[in-house]
Amino acid sequence: MAATKNIEATPIVDDRYRILVDSIVDYAIYMIDLHGNVISWNKGAQRFKGYTDAEIIGQHFSRFYTDEDRASGLPARALHIAATEGRFEQEGWRVRKDGSLMWAHVLIDPIRNDDGTLVGYAKITRDLSERKAVQDALRQSEQRFRLLVQGVQDYAIYMLDPQGHVTSWNKGAQRFKGYTDEEIIGQHFSRFYTDEDRASGLPARALRTAATESRFEAEGWRVRKDGTRFWAHVIIDPIRGDHDELVGFAKITRDITERRNAQQELEATRARFIQSQKMEAIGQLTGGVAHDFNNLLAVVLGNLGLARKRLPNDRKLQQLIENSIQAAERGATLTKRMLAFARRQELTTGPVDVPELVRGMADLLQRSISSNIPVSTQFPLQLPPAFADATQLELALLNLTVNARDAMPDGGTIAIVAREARIGADEFPGLAAGHYVCLSVSDTGVGMDEETLARATEPFFTTKGVGKGTGLGLSMIHGFAAQSGGRLVLKSTLGQGTTAELWLPVAETGLLGAQPEASAPDLPALKPMTVLVVDDDPLVLMNTAAMLEDLGHTVLEAISGEQALRVLRRSAGSIELVITDQIMPGMTGLQLIEALRTMQAEQPVILVSGYAELPEDRLAGLVRLGKPFEQADLARALALTLQPSGQALPLRSKHG
């Protein structure tokens, strides 16, 4: 009975297998006989390939292959490999009933009976077209991304492993840093950092920051293969796997050296502009203060001069007056420096032989400094003359030498050097293109830090301590250089000394033969005359009138240009000379003079001003008297105005 049950169960088991195989729709499972003809066909095969049982059973399985594969003998070779090696497996293109292609994974196994005789083949095929399409798309995307990354030349884009070794390298990285793929892949990325950054542990810190904070971004110096440096903007991002494990880093570097230089130049230009505005504002304030000081000093000096002439024979009283005059003269010198900074002093410019000027000052310079500080000079054999005011240049050189001495309390050396240079357009900030003489004074003293250097030319700024300096020396030189068409340039390093360069334009060839102005002859005696004095400052007006009256003249007074015109109209031509201040409210001195010339063209006039900002084309035929002035200066101005030749000359008082 048991044997009978086993015989009856076999067909039942076969049916179950048949039902199982036939119900699978995701795989084509079918059998092939020894000659390659299809002898079974499941629903998966029908779904993939489009054939029904009736259409395909008995047909050769090679019809599923492409023409190229059939021509190469692949179907027969597949069966042979399966029979001899026990298995054939491959992926490739297969053909459906409608002629369309599918990408298939094929497995062919031999079927043998109990004695090992080959009776056919089992063939399992799976349609992988969708997976292949995804893989192809991914491959194409990766290829496009690779081409994109490789094509970028303005950024260095490369990957690092978790330890920081380079695993990929694009053309931008090669262009920035100079390494080829073969030279750098496998090397540690820290070689791009400076010695200082490596010593501080920056490379490792950058990777640690990227790993823990998901990003590292910084700017800094990086090193190329040839050892040169460039300023880089760096971003490092971590790369993580499917399970959030760290698999490496993506590093993007951009060379922004040019941008940084441009930004620094922009900031420097902005700083220079702000400094220029600040200095201009201070100059305006200083010029105004100096103008008021000039008026006050003119009164003090004038009155002291008149008082000195009337003193009794009292030696102590005379000494007090002389001391007061000296103090007022020192105040006039201080005012002169303030006007120099404000660029409102009047310069007497001409060709100046700089080496000769320095040699002529040798004794004065050496007396001004300690005997244990040697002063050396260096001039070329031929140096063109500078176009400057010789007196102001001497004062500037003396100031610079004294500053150099004060910067070397423990001794040192001073070098005075002159050279010529041609400056191109935009080559030297603050200087127009042209031909210049550069006169420099260098010391080996304490030097200045950046903050002190930036403020060194500001008026009243000094590091010499209370009572040891006015803070106007460098500011005066700064103003003198600028008014002369040049520039003062300070170079200094803390602990290494200072060099002050005074750039002055070269004198034009036509001026080289100019002769120095002849000294004024003795003042002739002047007959008493009627003089109209115009000044808006009552103290100055009274003082000028007093000095004129002391000289024997009759004085009429006016406190404005409008009042002066009314006085002139009433005088019926009795006024023989007009002395007018320049800076007055309502009507300036020049405007008054123009009005006078319409009334009486030959009216003698003296223009009084402490400022240099006067239009030269409107000064023809005028004698100018600088503030503050003393009675002798006023008397000389009267003589020059009324000299028989009628040629008016500019006049500078000893303080102006």
**Residue 160 burial (CB < 10 Å; 0-12/13-18/19+)?**
buried
Q: What is the mean pLDDT of the chain?
A: 80
Cis peptide bond prior to 528, omega within 30° of 0: no
Alpha helices in 52-113 (DSSP H): 53-56, 67-71, 74-85
Q: Report the distance separating Cα 580 and Cα 218, nearest Å.
A: 67
Token pair for residue 505?
Answer: 């334009």
For residue 425, being part of any structural domain is answered with yes
Residue 611: pLDDT band by 50, 70, 90 thresholds?
low
Split into its structural domains, the chain has a count of 4
**Type of residue at 639:** A
Q: Contact, 38 vs 57, CB < 8 A?
A: yes
Sorted by sequence, the CB contacts under 8 Å of residue 542 that are 6+ apart come out as: 299
pLDDT at 14: 59
pLDDT at 24: 72
For residue 261, being part of any structural domain is answered with no
pLDDT higher than 90, residue 33: yes
Residue 4: pLDDT band by 50, 70, 90 thresholds?
very low
Least confident among 74-83, 355-364, 525-534: 355-364
pLDDT higher than 60, residue 648: no
pLDDT at 639: 86
Q: Domain span at residue 205?
A: 152-255
For residue 334, being part of any structural domain is answered with no
Per-residue pLDDT averaged across 384-404, rounded?
85
Nearest alpha-carbon partner for 581 in 548, 617, 541: 541
For residue 296, being part of any structural domain is answered with no
For residue 603, being part of any structural domain is answered with yes
Q: Report the distance separating Cα 34 and Cα 558, nearest Å.
A: 138
- 434-443 and 497-505: which strand pairing? antiparallel
Token pair for residue 588?
Answer: 């300036």
127 and 183 together in one domain = no
pLDDT at 597: 84
Per-residue pLDDT averaged across 246-257, rounded?
89
For residue 278, being part of any structural domain is answered with no
For residue 339, being part of any structural domain is answered with no
Print burial letters for 291-323: b (CB count within 10 Å at least 16), e (below 16).
bebbbbbbbbbbbbbbeeeeeeeeeeeeeebee
Least confident among 389-393, 459-463, 584-588: 459-463
Q: Contact, 386 vs 350, CB < 8 A?
A: no
Which of residues 255, 284, 309 is at a domain's end? 255
Q: Report the distance separating Cα 328 and Cα 332, nearest Å.
A: 6
pLDDT higher than 60, residue 459: no
pLDDT higher than 90, residue 68: yes
Q: Report the distance separating Cα 555 and Cα 292, nearest Å.
A: 24
230: number of CA atoms within 13 Å, CB side?
Answer: 20
544 and 503 together in one domain = no
pLDDT higher than 80, residue 215: yes
